[in-house]
Amino acid sequence: MDHLDWVEGETKLKCDAEKFFEVWSRKSYLVSQLCPHRYPKIELHEGDWDKVGSVHTWTYVCNEVGEHSFVKIRVDEFDGENRCVNYSYEDGAVIKNHYKTLKSKIQVTPQDEGCIVKWHFDYEKMNKNAPDPNLYIDFLLGTAKDIDACLCSA
């Protein structure tokens, strides 16, 4: 790897940390039911949803950049006790068009009567004109807020 950069963002949610983490990491297929406008389809290709080495494909619609594509991710690390998952991105427009390397980490931390969801990306651009993945951080944080709204209204 030539040079690895990073970017991160976080948001405060009203829902319980365990409930959010359960939906995002152990029952990821529910994200497409709760947020079909963002993720029309989520598929498991290898392993179990919450197991290291499992492979998922997430079809997404990111209106902020007019992108309708998919991303194939692998679970590199799963820590249920600390509500943390690390992913590596293996295929999709994001990898083919912008980054040599893209890895992310989601951390869900209880706070007061809700939780904090933090996304972190490590990345290596294909070239200097490739965008920083801030818009994907914003997209994922927006998804977290949508899930929060659904979990709080249930």
The beta strand positions in the chain, using DSSP E, are: 5-13, 41-46, 55-62, 67-79, 84-92, 99-111, 114-125
* Residues 12-45 pLDDT 10s: 999 999 999 999 999 999 999 999 999 999 999 9
Q: What is the pTM of this model?
A: 0.91
Q: What is the pLDDT of residues 110-143, one digit of tens each?
A: 998 999 999 999 999 999 888 888 988 999 999 9
117 close to 108: Cβ distance less than 8 angstroms: yes
Locate 61 and state its tokens.
């619609």
pLDDT digits (tens, 9 = 90+) for 70-91: 999 999 999 999 999 999 999 9
pLDDT, tens digit (0-9, with 9 covering 90-100), for 39-70? 999 999 999 998 999 999 999 998 666 678 89
Q: What is the CATH number of the domain that holds 70?
A: 3.30.530.20
Contacts of 62 (CB under 8 A, 6+ apart): 38, 68, 69, 135, 136, 139
User: What is the number of domains present in the chain?
Assistant: 1
What order do you get walking across the sheet with 84-92 strand by strand?
5-13, 114-125, 99-111, 84-92, 67-79, 55-62, 41-46
| Residue 120 lies in domain | 5-153
Q: What is the mean pLDDT of residues 6-15?
A: 97
Q: In this model, does residue 2 exceed pLDDT 70?
A: no
